[in-house]
Structure 1
Amino acid sequence: MGNKSNKDRVRELVECAESHFGEKVLHSSAPGGEGRASWRFEMESGFVIATSRPNFRRTHLEAVALTKLAEYCDDAPRCLGVVGDIMFQSDVGGRRLNQEIMKYDRRQRTDVAHEAIASIFRVQSAGRKSGLNRSMPHLGANHDWIRNLVDATSVLKSFSAGRSLDVDQEALCERITSPAVEFVKWDCRSGNAAISDNGRLRWFDFEYCGVRHGAEDVAWLIGDEAWPVQPQTMEEIVVSAFDRTNHYALDPYLDYLSVYLTLHCVQRLKLILKEVNKRGWLSKTRIRKYDDAGVHPEFAAHICKVGAYFAQRVPLTRPIGLDFEDAEKVFEQVLKSGRKDVENMKVPA
């Protein structure tokens, strides 16, 4: 929608919604903040979400994916129509998973985590049944993208003995170069799921969906630094919820998940450090409210713990796991000391 102000942008969205649905918009709000792509409208007959992304092609791609998924599962919003560069979709509720899970005790969190993983597998199953795994764009197929993912392990040398530097980089690239066979939502962080009033968990924001191995979606959730479930529990949940109708046997799937998740945790740590250097540490409440990067020492320590746990499962990545263990201790010390500065935590150039 160009360089329009938020006020002009919302006015255009409202006018489009009223024309498309033939009823009045009674109230509008921005669930993810006014700078985000989606607005919630209270219509006379209920709530809808209006989405207008900077790249209209992604909006149309998302609309196709949601339409096809709805034929086989109820784990995502329904597309309610596309008008130009605006997509209307059903409202999955305002109770975001990243905030809701903090209200539960340990047993309840485990149950919700199981449902989150199971719903990822159901979405991927719907992707196979609808043919999305054959028609959507391939993700992470570029050699430079893979190389960047692997090379990022150097960020750990500032917090550890630097064992990651001795890992066979070419072998790592080969391990995560995967045939594109499964539909993936991408960006399955807990802030991109919501729980409705009747308790149904659904994923939203399919902007970056495409096709890859499939374990990446699971990695995004487990490798969410604000996700409060321990890595060993998440591994048990993946085993329990595993969809045996997909393209993989369990053990090879877990091996790939472990390698990819190790590198994903490196990326999340790198993002945290970048934001710390720009903004300083943030409060956990603010991070969850705005679905922000986990710029808090507790979250930094947690992502290191997750990385260390999954890295140790595969011989190739074990040195990275040892570096993660060192880094976890650094951030635990930051948490204990209450340090606000990060003069010794700059991301290597």
Structure 2
Amino acid sequence: MKRRHKERIAGIVDRAERFFGQKVVRATAPGGSGRSSYRLIFEDRTVIATLRPNFRRTHLEAFVLKRLAQDCGDTPECLGVDGELMFQSDVGGERLNLAIAEATPERRLALAGEAVAAIFRIQEAGRKQALQNALPHLGQNRDWIDNLVQSTAALAEFSRGRSAGLDHAALATRLDFPGRQFVKWDCRSGNAAIGTDGRLRWFDFEYSGARHGAEDIAWLIGDEAWPLSPAAMEQVVIDCFDPGCGHDRDAYLDYLAFYLTFHCIQRFKLIVKEARKRGWIAKARVRKYDDAGVHPEFAVQICRVGAYFASRRPDTAPIGRDFEETGTVFLNILKDGLRQAETVTA
């Protein structure tokens, strides 16, 4: 594995030197050896080289970044493409997920506001560039929607399973939405960074497409490692809401709560799956490598978020109660772990 990683970096460095006509002084893998991006350090600047698994994703991301750059400064600049390898500007080494974990409560709210406002600006730039007409429309497959709705069964193991009695067909119809708005997708906090100029920018646009628009905010609030309360984040969204996004604010918040309910179940399922496979992971490691939040505290957080937003609507309120009970299970796991640690260190 290490040899293959070294060979991969060597190949990227060679291509970068030919592309830019400069020597690379040093190359690092900020997200770990298994990730797609590498930081290339030249004498006069740093560049991010991104090697996506396939040609199509590389060129979709490059296309999106070039178009967005014409109307906003909240994304990296695409510097060029060499086959399946894309070069982009370095938006900074201080990732949002690490910065917000270490920040004061006041700074956390400020960072959250910057992150949400940047998402709305990026979506506005997408509208100006009519990207919703040029990119794949996401979540339009009925099987995808049905899978989201049926995933409520994942809470039954840890709760009374009230969700089983819901009208799943009606929920699926409500969840369905045409691709009218550009969305970045995967707006987890590990996909944003703060630059040396103090500006927060979002990166990783390879999954971009079109849908409702609230999905991007849902990815951020539904990031299990995101430390702000759901009530605080709801207020941040209200404060930063863009009236030009094509939705009435109340209708937008309603769909956000509805979609976020099912998004949280997906994140919860991932946590449980990875915990059973790998065991619990230290919170610091999760944040450092932008890994799934495989820690009891993060499981509790995603349940709190799911419960809060599910309670917003009568048709999802039973899911909220299942989330509350499930969260209690993982809170007890967390407390048991702390008691065991205290016993060992005593």
Q: TM over 0.5: same fold?
A: yes
Structure 1 distance, partners of 2:129, 2:61, is 14
1:89 is aligned to 2:84: no
Structure 2 distance, partners of 1:142, 1:18, is 42
Instruction: Tell me the equivalent position of 1:58.
Output: 57
Structure 2 distance, partners of 1:105, 1:56, is 42
Instruction: Tell me the equivalent position of 2:251.
Output: 252
Instruction: Tell me the equivalent position of 2:310.
Output: 311
Instruction: Tell me the equivalent position of 2:269.
Output: 270
Structure 2 distance, partners of 1:45, 1:338, is 48
Counterparts of 1:123-138 in structure 2, within 5 Å, are: 123-138=122-137
Instruction: Tell me the equivalent position of 2:281.
Output: 282
Instruction: Tell me the equivalent position of 1:42.
Output: 41
Q: Identical aligned pairs, as a percentage? A: 59
Q: CA deviation at 1:8?
A: 2.0
Structure 2 distance, partners of 1:84, 1:110, is 41
Structure 2 distance, partners of 1:58, 1:19, is 23
Structure 2 distance, partners of 1:134, 1:43, is 38
- Paired amino acid for 1:213: H
Structure 2 distance, partners of 1:235, 1:330, is 25
Counterpart secondary structure, 1:44: coil
For the 8 Å contact 2:126–2:132, the answer to whether it is kept is yes
1:152 is aligned to 2:173: no
Instruction: Tell me the equivalent position of 1:197.
Output: 196
Structure 2 distance, partners of 1:331, 1:34, is 31
For the 8 Å contact 2:177–2:211, the answer to whether it is kept is yes
Structure 2 distance, partners of 1:39, 1:260, is 33
Q: CA deviation at 1:104?
A: 1.1
Write out the 4+ residue segments of structure 1 that deviate beyond 3 Å after TM superposition: none
Q: CA deviation at 1:69?
A: 0.4
Q: CA deviation at 1:14?
A: 0.8
Q: CA deviation at 1:198?
A: 2.1
Counterpart secondary structure, 2:294: coil
For the 8 Å contact 2:92–2:194, the answer to whether it is kept is yes
Aligned-residue Cα RMSD (Å) equals 1.3
Counterpart secondary structure, 1:25: coil
Gaps of 5+ in 2: 340-346
Structure 2 distance, partners of 1:106, 1:265, is 24
Structure 1 distance, partners of 2:269, 2:39, is 32
- Paired amino acid for 1:76: T
Instruction: Tell me the equivalent position of 1:345.
Output: none
Structure 2 distance, partners of 1:231, 1:266, is 15
Structure 1 distance, partners of 2:91, 2:166, is 43
Structure 2 distance, partners of 1:42, 1:131, is 35
Structure 1 distance, partners of 2:6, 2:331, is 44
Structure 1 distance, partners of 2:232, 2:184, is 23
Structure 2 distance, partners of 1:234, 1:170, is 29
Tell me the TM-score normalized by structure 1: 0.95
- Paired amino acid for 2:91: V
- Paired amino acid for 1:80: L
Counterpart secondary structure, 1:28: strand
Q: Deviations over 1:12-70 (max 9, x none)?
A: 21111111111110010001111111110001220001111111100000000000000
Structure 2 distance, partners of 1:106, 1:205, is 27
Structure 2 distance, partners of 1:189, 1:209, is 14
- Paired amino acid for 1:158: E
Structure 2 distance, partners of 1:211, 1:305, is 28
Q: Deviations over 1:184-222 (max 9, x none)?
A: 110000001001122110111111111111100000000
Counterpart secondary structure, 1:80: strand
Counterpart secondary structure, 2:256: helix
Gaps of 5+ in 1: 341-349
1:170 is aligned to 2:169: yes
- Paired amino acid for 1:130: Q
Equivalent pairs counted in the alignment come to: 338
Counterpart secondary structure, 1:170: helix
Counterpart secondary structure, 2:86: strand
Q: CA deviation at 1:297?
A: 0.5
Q: CA deviation at 1:339?
A: 8.2
- Paired amino acid for 1:119: A
Q: CA deviation at 1:5?
A: 2.0
Q: CA deviation at 1:130?
A: 1.0
Structure 1 distance, partners of 2:54, 2:314, is 41
Structure 2 distance, partners of 1:50, 1:43, is 12
Tell me the TM-score normalized by structure 2: 0.96
Structure 1 distance, partners of 2:10, 2:337, is 45
